[in-house]
Amino acid sequence: MQVFVFVLNRTEHLEHLLQEFTNQGLRGATVLDSKGMARILHSEDEMPIFYGLRAIMEPERRSSKTIFMVLPDEQVDLARKIVNQVTGGLDVPDSGIMFAMPLTMVEGLEKKK
């Protein structure tokens, strides 16, 4: 089992991405609002009025979505392929970052019958 994490900067892809995960049998994603360090530091340096105007004119660019799922090892590559297909690839600037890490313990995925 692995935890698959994807930070999606281009949040306009979120709904399509989650739908594609579902269509391909990947379930159980958790989606969190997140903001990168550079965006936080940059916004503090701006004059408050300009930051407010930017927030109004570009509301979707203020935050990201962090998606994580616990997946069997054999589904991680499928998740990676779906992300690249939906986003157009992570080599596109400011699109996001993804990674997976092996898990040594998982509890709560299978419910007793």
pLDDT tens by residue, 50-106: 555 555 555 545 689 999 999 999 999 999 999 999 999 999 888 899 999 999 999
Q: What is the pTM of this model?
A: 0.78
Who has greater pLDDT, 110 or 24?
24
Is 11 within the bounds of a domain?
Answer: yes
Q: Is the pLDDT of residue 1 over 90?
A: yes
Answer yes or no: are the C-beta atoms of 34 and 91 closer than 8 Å. no
Answer yes or no: are the C-beta atoms of 13 and 92 closer than 8 Å. no
Q: Is the pLDDT of residue 107 over 60?
A: yes
Is 56 within the bounds of a domain?
Answer: no
Count structural domains, the chain: 1
Q: What is the CATH number of the domain that holds 69?
A: 3.30.70.120
pLDDT, tens only, 12-39: 999 999 999 999 999 999 999 988 776 6
Q: Categorise residue 51: left if φ over 0, alpha if ψ from -120 to 50, beta otherwise.
A: alpha
pLDDT score at 109: 81
What is the extent of the structural domain holding 19?
2-34+63-102
